[in-house]
Structure 1
């Protein structure tokens, strides 16, 4: 009997020792959960994004005295699957630090789960609702919303070309696309211009000849592409095949910047306007540092997905260093209202709606012969900050 009790006691001591060891390991390690589309329709974007987050983590090594660890969560380019995976992770480990998403629907679904668990989340998706009516105190956004992207790209194109009297839009039929279209309509209406037509497409579409044929038949002065990533590149390629570049101006509102132009090539990109959240030729000190880092470590210039995942990760790392902790509640409080020197220049986090207020770029593709180097695909025509207040967006942080 005594021997049985002794064995039981020793077992309890061993279990306590093991749990203490696990707790100590957890205290010495800070996990940053990276949410990215590593498979599915936007896998190329996710692969570039993961490189940026990993670069920030490996460069820093530690944060707040803790060893940094990257945990990658593949959204499979599907909001429902992403939310289930994040919810499972939260259930296993409790509140944590999360960043990233490709689709706005993913960001909204993931953001709701993380908020319920008391975690921290920053993403780069576009739908206005993220820092608008569906905002929450746990969810931050680095990229300019669709309102900012449309206004910062469409307005300067219209200013440069007063001959434009009509536009045709190509829109992905999901939350991001609807927000892009709504904001585009508002600018056109304000300018007294005609929307000659709009074509919707699904997230699964890969062939756009029918849609471009409809745009050609409408004969607008401006073709406004409101889609993204590989679908945007495919739309532009079809527009070139139909000869639309010689007949009208073309604007891709939300490009991946360098990534998009590299996939198209200079011959296609020349003369096309590209809206961009980031451009590698920005001369802000933090960006010069990033460009040097990517060229030294990866042998390439940073693309938008790589750069913004790097910046979001670095924002978390810097906060943990400044606080000496990775506690999500403290990270949230610290970042809210913060101004810092980021990769687009001075970036400020609104305490009203957790939106990072930063520059958005309008680029004009240049000819192959005008390129200064292999990455010099465009000139910056304009950069601006367009953001709405929380009262205008309907955001009430809770």
Structure 2
């Protein structure tokens, strides 16, 4: 049975919505025990809403349902609540603080937009709760901004930039111009891309930064075109990626011999672009719905609950992280000490139908395979959402930044 989570006027104005899920197999009533509350803090209304948003809430609820369908010891009610941070770091931090201080939320989940995730990370650590990041990608979250209260699940800027840049340079793309989203994620990814390109003998000849949620990329693309670089690396995401790719085609950049590379690309982006525009794009990703029997079965349960839209890697990450968190709570027997819960998550091997078997490293980095995909040509797609072909599987040892290179402070103590 679903019930609405009570909203104060302040929370409503802040963009925080709530949806509680309580299951009939609990013997205790909600007023007999404090519920275990899972807070999905995401982008419900802006450029990341398709790749996270309502689909992330669906994924968290599916993880709860699958956990409750398995043998477990938790007898408390468990609820999923959701909030819209609107890509504003201060708003995200305020919602997280109110959830924790007033509404007994034990864990904050998803948090797309690295600037928001970094702000929420401070709130969660100060309150000793848990933060499960699926939507944000900055590798600083397990580097200089690491936290003993944080797990970083789906991907990060190191894995994305390393996989894509290596593949492009191997094909002869030695000179690069970067078009970067001007906030924490873009800055981190730009640095990672430059490092990989230069390490492999390439050169970044120039770059430009664009504000988040830019609609007109013409001036930025003209600078990229004028650079004569072989590769124009798009270091942006969501609606920004869609707009910059569409406009690069309109400017005839690809026809002129330059190659546009998306360092971050999601299933929903390809769906919006269409295969005629997106075909041939190569990118690194942690999940694809049509990868194996387990991913297919889960995606076909997910899509009807998400308006027919198939899952992105971030939504899959919400499912995997939430399920593993619940397993750790069940093993530990308590949820109040967020640091202790994250420690338990690191002790337990990870295993779910979307990412397979894996582990969580001491710095909070979730370790699993990454994949190099290529977008299919229209005549290669045989059924709805059949968009990718697998080019290469990248094992964890190659995909993720080595632990000793991250600079995670709490490990030193």
Cα gap change, 1:90 to 1:297, in 2 (>3 Å): closer
Query: Which range is displaced more, 290-299 or 384-393?
Result: 290-299
- Matched residue, 1:43: 49
CA distance in 1, matches of 2:309, 2:99: 33
- Matched residue, 1:319: 328
Deviation at 1:245, TM superposition (A): 2.6
What is the DSSP-based 3-state SS (H/G/I as helix, E as strand, rest coil) of the residue aligned with 2:100? helix
TM norm structure 2: 0.83
Note the 1:247-266 alignment, pairs <5 A: 247-256=257-266, 258-266=267-275
- Matched residue, 2:226: 217
CA shift digits 1:329-370 (9 cap, x unpaired): 44222102432223133321002x011012222221111111
CA distance in 1, matches of 2:215, 2:64: 34
Question: Which residue, out of 295, 305, 313, partners 1:304?
Answer: 313
Query: Which range is displaced more, 99-108 or 65-74?
Result: 65-74
CA shift digits 1:211-261 (9 cap, x unpaired): 1121111122112111011001111101111222332222211112x1111
Q: Which has the higher helix share?
A: 1
CA shift digits 1:7-36 (9 cap, x unpaired): xxxxxxxxxxxxxxx996262632111111
Deviation at 1:314, TM superposition (A): 1.6
Count of equivalent residues: 372
- Matched residue, 2:162: 151
CA distance in 2, matches of 1:26, 1:261: 48
Q: Is it true that 1:31 corresponds to 2:31 in the alignment?
A: no
- Matched residue, 1:393: 406
Deviation at 1:56, TM superposition (A): 2.5
Question: Which residue, out of 200, 223, 226, partners 2:235?
Answer: 226
What is the DSSP-based 3-state SS (H/G/I as helix, E as strand, rest coil) of the residue aligned with 1:255? coil
Question: Which residue, out of 338, 341, 345, partners 1:335?
Answer: 345
Deviation at 1:198, TM superposition (A): 0.7
Deviation at 1:291, TM superposition (A): 2.1
Note the 1:1-398 alignment, pairs <5 A: 25=31, 27=33, 29-45=35-51, 46-61=53-68, 64-94=74-104, 96-124=106-134, 125-159=136-170, 161-162=171-172, 164-246=173-255, 247-256=257-266, 258-283=267-292, 285=294, 287-295=295-303, 297-298=305-306, 299-329=308-338, 330-342=340-352, 343-351=354-362, 353-384=363-394, 385=396, 386-397=399-410
Structure 1: gaps spanning 5 or more residues: 1-21
CA distance in 2, matches of 1:341, 1:289: 16
Query: Which range is displaced more, 98-107 or 299-308?
Result: 299-308
TM norm structure 1: 0.86
Deviation at 1:304, TM superposition (A): 2.5
CA distance in 2, matches of 1:66, 1:293: 26
Deviation at 1:93, TM superposition (A): 4.0
What root-mean-square deviation, in Å, do the aligned CA atoms of Structure 1 and Structure 2 show? 2.3
What is the DSSP-based 3-state SS (H/G/I as helix, E as strand, rest coil) of the residue aligned with 1:244? coil
CA distance in 2, matches of 1:93, 1:319: 22
Report the structure number with the largest CA radius of gyration: 1
CA distance in 2, matches of 1:141, 1:239: 32
